[in-house]
Amino acid sequence: MSTNKVHKYEYEVDVTSNTAAAYVAAMVGREKQVLEIGPGPGSITKVLQSVNACHITGIELDGEAIEKLIPYCDRIIQVDLNSIDWQKLLVDIGRFDVVVAADVLEHLYDPWSALQNIVQFLSPDGYAVVSLPHIGHGAIMSCLLNDDFEYREWGLLDRTHIRFFGLRNIEELFAQAGLKIIEACYVIKPPEETEFASDWSRLSGPVQDLIMNNPHAQVYQVVVKAVLANHEGEPVSLTAPQHKFKRGLSRQSDVPKEMNEAVGKETAQTEHAIQKSHMEPATGQLSTNHLNPRLIAFFLPQFHPIPENDQWWGRGFTEWTNVTKAEPLFEGHLQPHLPTDSGFYDLRLRETRRDQIRMAKEYGIDAFCYHYYWFSGKRLLNFPIDDMLADRESDMPFCLCWANENWTRRWDAGNKEILIAQEYLPDDDINFIKSLQPFFEDKRYLRVDDKPFLIVYRPQHLQDPAKTASIWRNYCRQIGIGEIHLCAALTHGNESYSQFAFDSGVEFPPHNFRSETVNHLVRTYHAFHGTIAQYATVAESYLARSYNEPRIFKTVFPSWDNTARTKERALIILNGTPENYEHWLASTIDAIGEDRKSEHLVFINAWNEWAEGCHLEPDRWFSHRFLQATRNAKAGLRRYVAFPHVSTPAIEEEPLHDQSSETEVLRDEIDAARAEIDMMREELEALYRSTSWRITAPLRSTRRLITRLHTYGILPLFNIDMRHKD
């Protein structure tokens, strides 16, 4: 029988991937005597033999699969696991260090008896490694709600699956077999990334949110390691939502060397996820470092028209103007970001602001930090903040961040195409702090160490920061406010606060981000001049970052993609999903929990930066899930041990005939361009030979000609000396 034909269950196992096969290989360990039940064509067997240096005995029925299995097994026994007393056919095969049943039990009529029979093949210190699909996945719920429980060729509803298990059922399955689960890990897949994505997309946002509130709604498969019930070791509960995870495999000696070696920069993050994915016994409802830090969300007030924006951008301009114009730049690009619950709101309406406050409080946000735009006495976008101050029903703690940078037409705060500049006039220090007095005196204003808390976005732009800070502090003392807490935003390369005589610093990601880009892995529709990076890589870089000064407040963002503002110059962070954000926020909370000496704030950038693709407010892509993730992380729920989403958009190869056709079209365009270039060359040479320049070549014609040449990139070919022209 030929072994060249690809078997249905034949695939390559990437030991660094978030797959059941990779987790099984990691749990088995090295140099073990393994009995593999139902190995199929040997996809996992190959790894156990070649990478883990194990010796494998296989039990398989499929003759075609056995042909492929032969190179990897010491012995193969052909047995039908659905037959009565199949284990009696395995006389004198001995006992094993590990018995593996990877995605097997769900195919059997009686998996309960099968697992009981497996026990007799374990050595006293042996263990079983078993993987099972999870029928409680949120995508399955969407199929049921859509009356569409269709079996498929693969996946959770594989046509050959005849038994289904929830997490409690898996626990009972092992308990009945006299086994105790001591380690486990989950394969996490969001519903929209499964084979049931179309069913999921048909559900309304609120229904999706309800399903996703189940902490196990994204558990696609479960891989467990189980020992005999009388064996030492504490059992692990699969159903407790607050699993804690070890940072390594069960025993370092069991980790294959090849799994610990880097397999390339693009897979390093995923390898890290695998090595952190084994569970310890759960001990309580909350993370042990849970301290209820205050969560502060940055708030953009640019959702109402002002005369200045009318003048600069056109009548009626607000942040929504840019948001609605955004278009996807590549396959799978989640643009535009469009709101759901509140629609395209106007911040001049008090009811809008009150709704935002109610929603923020419901999901665990403790305060808003409003961006404050002050230019030498001129304030912009101030109406929502002023009206909030006057409205006692806007009962949300708040603080201010002075956005002391230029406004430019390019949205880059640079020194070109300036719309309004920060001038830093001699009286600006005292006039600025006077403008803050009514805010500092409000009982809702956020205090740190019982001091009004003020962030300065670019303290490095102040002409004499220490002098400015001294003026501000003295004024507040004189008028009875007392001491104030000055915080320097860590932006535009600044990573210090003490140099400005400030009291603390606050991260402002993605400012100062130092992460590898993945532009080369993404095929954009048009020329792209921006930056594309992975959320997991960016977040890990901030989690690992340390500073030379003691009081730096950490900040996370839910997602980031400013295509709406900067188009092809955008910074796009891939996989800005609620699940990735939840893990970053949870990890940040846990990390600061280790320091119990000072008051803790964690900032979120942002509540409503819609044009930056950076918002907690519900949108049409994820509904309320970023808000729910915020509440989960703050409550101490720890659902992830690594960032679950690290993929890049798929690049599909185009058919050869299409490529050939496009090549012919491109050749025709090149020939036409060459003809036009030759004509323009002749025009320019004639122009150069002219002795009456001003008469024969008006300036506008010359400019138009040069522009055409520049379009074709040939302007550098000409070096016309104009010095002797009249």
Q: Residue 606 is part of a domain; what is its CATH number?
A: 3.20.20.80
Number of helical H runs and strand E runs in the chain: 24, 25
Same domain, 60 and 202: yes
Angle between helices 465-478 and 428-435 (to 10 degrees): 50
Q: By residue range, what is the domain housing residue 101?
A: 20-280
Domain termination residue (choose one: 602, 635, 668): 635
Burial of 102 (0-12, 13-18, 19+ CB in 10 A): buried
- Cβ partners under 8 Å of residue 659, min gap 6: none
- State the Cα–Cα distance between residues 405 and 409, nearest whole angstrom: 13
Among the three residues 218, 246, 280, which one is the final residue of a domain in this structure?
280
> 301 and 254 in one domain?
no
State the pLDDT at residue 150. Answer: 85
**223 CA to centre of own chain:** 24
DSSP for 392-416 reads: TT----EEEEE--S-EETTSS--SS
List of residues 6+ apart from 517 with CB closer than 8 A: 531, 532, 533
Q: What pLDDT does residue 437 have?
A: 98
- Tell me, yes or no, whether 123 and 71 share the same domain: yes
Q: Are the C-beta atoms of 59 and 77 separated by less than 8 Å?
A: yes
| Together in a domain, 383 and 471 | yes
Q: Does 723 reside within a domain?
A: no
Three-class DSSP category at 233: coil
- Token representation of residue 210: 């309800």
CB count in 10 Å sphere of residue 481: 18
**pLDDT tens figures, 699-718:** 445 555 555 554 444 444 33
DSSP string, 72-86: G-SEEEE--TTSTTG
3-state per-residue secondary structure call for 298-354: EECCCCCCCHHHHHHHCCCCCHHHHHHHCCCCECCCCCCCCECCCCCCCCCCHHHHH
Q: What's residue 663's pLDDT?
A: 54
Residue-level pLDDT at 234: 84
> Are 85 and 132 members of one domain?
yes
Decide: 229 and 258 in contact? Cβ < 8 Å.
no
CA 420/CA 379 separation, integer angstroms: 11
Determine the angle formed by the axes of helices 535-543 and 578-593, rounding to 10 degrees.
Answer: 10
Are 542 and 664 in the same domain?
no
Beta bridge partners of 445: 398
Helix axes 383-390, 350-362, angle to 10 degrees: 80
**What's 521-580 look like in SS3?**
HCCECCCCCCEEEEHHHHHHHHHCCCCCCCCEEEEECCCCECHHHHHHHCEEEECCCHHH
349 Cβ partners below 8 Å, 6+ apart? none
Residue 651 inside a domain? The answer is: no
- Whether residue 540 contacts residue 270, with contact meaning beta carbons closer than 8 Å, is answered with no
Indicate the average pLDDT of the chain: 83
Same domain, 299 and 275: no
Do 175 and 310 lie in one domain? The reply is no
User: Distance between CA 33 and CA 569 in Å, rounded?
Assistant: 56
Residue 489: inside a domain: yes
**146 in the same domain as 112:** yes
Which one-letter amino acid corresponds to residue 314? Answer: G
Residues 33 and 81 in one domain: yes
Q: Report the predicted TM-score, pTM, of the whole model to 2 decimal places.
A: 0.59
Is position 1 within any domain? no
Residues 6+ apart with CB under 8 A from 602: 293, 294, 295, 296, 553, 554, 555, 556, 585, 588, 589, 592
Are 609 and 462 part of one and the same domain? yes
CA angle 589, 591, 595 (to 5 degrees): 100
The reply to whether 690 falls in a domain is: yes
CATH for 205: 3.40.50.150
Q: What is the pLDDT of residue 428?
A: 97
Q: What is the pLDDT of residue 4?
A: 66
H or E element in which residue 687 lies: helix 656-689
Q: CA quadruple 314, 301, 463, 478: dihedral positive or negative?
A: positive
**Whole-number pLDDT of residue 15:** 85
Tally of domains within the chain: 3
Within a domain: 472:
yes
> How many angstroms separate the CA atoms of 495 and 488, rounded?
9
- Is 9 part of a structural domain of the chain? no
Measured between alpha carbons, how far is residue 342 from residues 335, 346, 359, 408, 432 in Å? 19, 9, 11, 29, 33
Tell me if the bond preceding 336 is cis, omega within 30° of 0: yes
Query: Cα dihedral sign for 273, 276, 281, 285?
Result: negative
- 298 and 438 in a single domain? The answer is yes
Helix (H) or strand (E) holding 270: helix 268-275
The backbone torsions φ and ψ at residue 362, rounded to the nearest 5 degrees and listed phi first, read: -60, -35
Token readout for 171 is 């626990």
Both structure tokens of 311: 């003048």
Asked if the structure places residue 287 within a domain, the reply is: no
pLDDT averages per 10-residue partition of the chain, 726 residues: 66 86 93 94 93 93 89 91 79 89 92 90 94 94 89 86 93 94 90 87 82 88 94 83 32 36 33 33 35 89 94 93 95 94 94 96 96 97 97 96 90 74 95 98 96 97 97 98 98 94 97 91 94 96 94 97 95 96 95 71 97 96 93 88 87 47 58 63 54 44 53 42 34
Last residue of a domain, one of 280, 303, 329: 280
